Structure 1
Amino acid sequence: MVDFLMKNFNQSEGVHIFQGVGGCGLNKETETLTGFLKYGYDGEDFLELDLTQLKWIARREEALFVKQLWDMETQSLFFNADLVTNQCPYWLNGSLVGGQSTLLRTDNPSVSLLQKTPSSPVRCHATGFYPERFLMFWRKDGEEIHEGVAHGNVLTNQDITFQYYVDLDILSIPPQDWVRYDCVFQFTGGVDRIVIKLDKTLIKTNRGKNK
């Protein structure tokens, strides 16, 4: 529903409020459209648009004169009817579709291992995921670790997905122990996980993959 204040105006007896309210509804199952447009004066019903007969209904005696004038403005009648029965549902449907496409997005990330030099930390990098509710960490023997781990900042991609990384310092890890480590990405509250083993052959460098 869209509320709007049409105008405030002064008369000899003081300040009065002339207020309009219009809205529409869309039943997604039946595809039925509904709309309404009505005005109030000092908080009481004043005029309402009859969309079936395309005329104004006076809700109080003082509105009869305005009704007669507005009924003669046929262009305004057609404009108002089109506004609440065609334009408003169109905007509403567009907002619902756009909102659902955002709220229901579950873009999954691309997770990879990166390393600048053989002695640099191994970066577990995730990108292209949505929403921004996730867990990402390094594990050893299936348990989350914090020592030797550095977390990055969440960044936004151009398509409004996100990217994030977690670095692991490997200098104190013997090569034979690499198999005990892995990186985990999981959406908060989710069940599925993306797990990547700390494997030299999976690490991407400026020279490509390690061998």
Structure 2
Amino acid sequence: MYSCEWDNETTGGLLQYGYDGEDFITYDMKNQRFIGPTPQAFITAVKWNNDPALLESWKQYLTQICIASLKKYVSYGRSTLERTVAPKVSLLQKDSSSPVTCHVTGFYPRGVMVTWQRNGEDLNEDVELGEMVPNEDGTFQTTSHLTVKPEEWKSQEYTCTVQHKSLKQDIVLSVKEENIKRNSDIKKGSSPPMGVIIGCVLGALILILILAVIGVVIWRKRSSGESH
């Protein structure tokens, strides 16, 4: 296994051999020598350390060739690596007595901070942070749950604050009735009113009746024409 690191002006590298799932020989780039942590690797480490050309070639590879390749691949993927997508934040609740969930989704990169405040002070108790989950479009989503009684967040000022690289200003949502979406509200919103359903059914029946009448008229005209 070998790798290199590049951070502006500093560079670093790693070269490591393994055998049967265990470390065998490691290259110490700073001191430019191989280290064998096991007795079985001692002979090989001594042999490689007595080969100046081998030591220098690995140093040149890790500090120059590998770094040049790394810079090239970073430039290829810069548009993806540096892109940012702002999150969408909403407050959810199963019912009026359930914990309030701060749902954050559609953000990139994945680093995000979700915190709760009570009367302007950060709240650490009664808070449970959910897992970070990837979305199908490459963005991420996460949740944070606030477990307090409804009378508490109704009588005091509770807020959910979201901080993300894409945001010029933090997103802050107040825990209030008008800002919370519940399952019952979603079901109500997804089902059309009964009047609309009845109207659609009646409209379909009338259309079928009209088509039937037209069919009968055409049939009679054809029949009368054939009898003449």
TM-score normalised by length of structure 1: 0.49
Point out the structure with the larger helix share. 2
Higher strand share: 1
TM-score by length of 2: 0.46
